[in-house]
A and B are shown apart, each in its own frame.
Chain A
Amino acid sequence: MNKLTNVFNHNSNLLSIYFTAGFPNADSTLHVLKALEQGGTDFVEVGIPYSDPLADGPVIQNSSSRALANGMSLKMLFDQLKELKNTVNIPVILMGYLNPILKFGIESFIENCRQVGVSGLIIPDLPYEIYLEKYQTLFEQNNISNIFLITPQTGEERIRKLDRASTSFLYMVSSAAVTGVRDGLSESQIQYFERIKNMQLKTPAMVGFGISNHKTYREVCRYAHGAIVGSAFIKHLETHGDDASEIIKFVKNLKNN
C-alpha cells in the first residue's frame, strides 16, 4: 500500500509542511526533511523550483528563485533523494510545475519518484482531463498518487469526479488565490470548508494555502483531515536557515502550541 494512504488511514489532524528543494542552500533538502520529521510533521511536500509559477505567492516564488540560483534541478533533487529512504520514514510528496517535468521526461520522472520512494505528486498546472487521458496508467503502475486541487469555485460535480479518481487526499486551496500567509479564517472560508465536509467524500481532504499558526491549523482540522503549511515555513527558513533545532521548534509550536 502507498505510504501516504496509510498515514490517512491511521491519523487525523495531520500536519503537512511544504518547502522548496535546495532552499536556503543547495544541500538543505535532506536536512530539512529530517528535522521536519523529528518535529512531528506527518508528511512533507517538497517543491521543485520553477522560474514562472502561476500558483505561488511571493514568499514561495522567492525561495524558488534562490533555489534555482543555488543550482537546484530535478536531476540534482533526485540525486539528493537517493538517500531519502535512509533519512526519513514519513511520506514525501513532490510538488512541481509541468514543464520541468516534461523536459526531464515524464516517464523517467515517475520512475525516479518510485525508485527514491516518493509517494505522491502535486502538479498544479496538469489539468485533470489530461492526467486521465495520458498519465493515469503511468502513475498507477508506479504506485504514485496524483493529488488534485480544489478551490472554493470548484463545482460539486467536478469535486465528485476528483474524489473518485483520488488515491490519497484532496488538496483544498483555502481561497481562490495564490499561496501566502494569512491570519485567521474568514467567514467565506469556513462556509467553503463546511460545504466540502458535508459532501462526505470518500477521500480525506487537507487544507492548504494561508495557514501560518497553531490556531488556524487547529481550526482547519475541525473541517478537514489536516492542514498544509507552506509560506510560513519558508519564512522561517529565511530567518533561521536550515538549523535543525529551530525547525523542530517551529513544527512543535505549530502542532502543539
Chain B
Amino acid sequence: MSENYLKKYPTKEGFYKEYGGAFLPPALEEEMKKITDAYFAISKSHNFISELRSIRKHYQGRPTPVYYCNRLSEKYGGRIYLKREDLNHSGAHKLNHCMGEALLARYLGKKKLIAETGAGQHGVALATAAAYFGLECEIHMGEVDIAKEHPNVVRMEILGAKVVPVSKGLKTLKEAVDSAFEAYLKDPVNTIYCIGSVVGPHPFPMMVRDFQHVVGVEAREQFQDMTGELPDSVVACVGGGSNAMGIFSGFIDDEEVALYGVEPGGRSMKTGDHAATMMKGKPGIIHGFKCYLLQDEDGNPSPVYSIASGLDYPGVGPEHSMLKDIGRVNYDMVTDKEAIDAFFELSRLEGIIPALESAHAVAYALKLAQKDPRKSVLVNLSGRGDKDIDFVVENYGKQYGIE
C-alpha cells in the first residue's frame, strides 16, 4: 500500500478506482456538489475541527477503550481485543459520523436532518445529534425493521425525532433509503440528507469515512500503547461499511496488518437469504454510486436478508469495493447462526452484549483465533446489543437456556 492512502482516494469526483462517483438526476447532483464544496471548505477550518474534537471528548466520551478479552481468548486461543464503540455515546459507532454531519448542517444553516435507518442505530445517533444541535430530525425506517428494532424506535421518538414508516418492497433498509432521498428532494434548501454509512453518492462515502477515521486512529495508538506492537489482524462487520472503514483507515498504510471485512451470510446462499454483497455481487449502480451490488439479471437490486437489520443492504461502500479488487482487505462472511453463537459467547464470557451486527465480526475473530492461536486480532465492536435482546430471546432464547 502506498503511503498516504487516505489522500489518494477518493479522486476529486469521488471515485475509488471505478467505484463511487455521483450517478444522480440533476436536481440531486447539484445539491451534492454544494455539499461537497461546503464540506471541503468547512471541515478543514480550525473552528470546525476544534468543535468536533471537543464534542468527541466531552459529549461522546471518546476515546473509547480497547479491551483485551481474557476469557474469550482463553477459550478460543489467540489474543482477542475489542475496540469498544459500544461505549460510544448512544451505543454505537454511528454517532461519530452523525455529530460530524449535524455540525456541518449547522454551519450550512440547515433546519432539518433526514436519514434512513436499518437497525435504528443510525437513526438514534442522528436524533441524538439533532437534539444536541437543536435541529429537526426525520428518520425513514422500513416497517419490518420498526417491528424488529422497537426499542430504537422508542428512543428516536423520546429524542424528539419523527419516524416515518416505509411500507414499500421488502420494507427494510434499501426502501428506507429510497424514501429518505425522496423526502430530501422535496426541500433540499432547508434539509440535509445525513446518510448512515459510507454509501451513497459522493461526497457521503468520503465524509462518513473521514468522520469515522477517529476510531482507527485511536485504536492504533491504544493497541500499540497496550502491547507495543500492531495487531496481526483487524476485523469489522460490513453492512454499508462505515465502522469497518473507520477502523481500517487507521491501519491501511500498515501493510503487515491484515484487514478482514465480514458480511452477513444470513440463512443460506440463495438469493434473498443473505446480504453478502462482495461475495456474490457484481459491479452496478444503486442510490447514486457504483459498487458491488446484489442484483438480478435486469439490473434491479436483489432482495436481501440478514438477522442483523443494519447489515441487510444490497450494495456496499465504493471504497470497500475497491479494497476488495486491489486485495488490501479480505472479505468473508458469517452466517446468522454463527453470529448468534458469538452474541452469546461474548455476553457470557466477557459480560458484553454486542449488537447483532458486531456479533458477525466477533464470530469471525473467533475463527481467526482458532486458526492461529499465536496471533492477535482486534475487532471493531461497533455497537451494543440492547436493541436486539427481545428479538434474540424470542427467536433463539430456548437454544441458549432462556425459557
Contact = CB atoms under 8 A, between A and B. Distances in A.
B301 A51 contact: yes
A151 B27 contact: yes
Contacts of B300: 50-52, 68, 99-100
A127 B27 contact: no
Given A149-B26, A173-B26, A177-B186, A54 B285 contact: no
Interface string A172-208: 0100111000000000000000000000000000000
Contacts of B299: 50, 99-104
Contact of B286 (A52, A127, A173): A52
B25 A153 contact: no
Contacts of A151: 26-27, 30
A125 interface: yes
Given A103-B298, A154-B30, A178-B182, A54 B24 contact: yes
Given A102-B284, A103-B298, A177-B185, A125 B23 contact: yes
A153 B298 CA distance: 33
B208 to A, nearest CB: 19
B193 to A, nearest CB: 11
Contact of A103 (B13, B26, B288, B297): B297
Contacts of B373: none
Residue in B23, B24, B29, B301 with the greatest tally of chain A CB atoms within 10 Å: B23
A55 B286 contact: no
B181 interface: yes
A236 B375 CA distance: 67
Contact of A173 (B27, B168, B178, B297): B27
Contact of A178 (B13, B168, B185, B297): B185
A178 B185 CA distance: 7
Contacts of B174: 52
Nearest to B29: A127
Interface residues of A, number: 34
A174 B284 CA distance: 30
Given A151-B30, A177-B186, A55 B25 contact: yes
B65 interface: no
B285 A98 contact: yes
Interface string B181-224: 11001101000000000000000000000000000000000000
A92 interface: no
Interface in B19-75: 21-31
B181 A54 contact: yes
Nearest to A104: B299
A136 interface: no
A64 B182 CA distance: 16
Interface residues of B, number: 33
Interface string A103-139: 1100000000000000000001111011000000000
A57 B181 CA distance: 11
Nearest to A58: B182
Contacts of A177: 27, 185-186
A173 B24 CA distance: 14
Interface string B132-148: 00000000000000000
B382 to A, nearest CB: 26
A127 B24 contact: yes
B397 to A, nearest CB: 36
Contact of B287 (A54, A124, A130): A54
A125 B25 contact: yes
Contacts of B301: 51-52
Nearest to A176: B27
Interface string B154-198: 000000000000001100001000100110011010000000000
A13 interface: no
B295 interface: yes
B24 A125 contact: yes
Interface in B298-330: 298-301
A74 interface: yes
B290 to A, nearest CB: 9
Contacts of B297: 73, 103
A33 interface: no
A105 B136 CA distance: 43
A114 B293 CA distance: 29
Contacts of B169: 51, 65
Q: Which of A65, A68, A103 neighbours the largest number of chain B CB atoms within 10 Å of its CB?
A: A103
Shortest Cβ-Cβ A-B pairs, 7 listed: A103-B299, A100-B299, A55-B25, A124-B25, A51-B300, A99-B285, A99-B299
Interface of A: 50-52, 54-55, 57, 65, 68, 73-75, 97-104, 124-127, 129-130, 149-151, 153-154, 173, 176-178
Interface of B: 13, 21-31, 168-169, 174, 178, 181-182, 185-186, 188, 284-288, 293, 295, 297-301
30 contacts: A51-B169, A52-B174, A52-B178, A54-B24, A54-B25, A54-B178, A54-B287, A54-B288, A57-B182, A65-B169, A75-B298, A98-B23, A98-B285, A99-B284, A100-B300, A102-B284, A103-B295, A125-B23, A125-B285, A125-B288, A126-B23, A127-B23, A130-B21, A130-B23, A151-B27, A153-B30, A173-B26, A173-B27, A177-B185, A178-B182
Given A98-B23, A100-B298, 18 more contacts: A50-B299, A50-B300, A51-B301, A52-B174, A54-B287, A54-B288, A55-B28, A65-B168, A75-B298, A99-B295, A102-B285, A103-B297, A103-B299, A124-B26, A125-B23, A127-B22, A130-B21, A153-B27
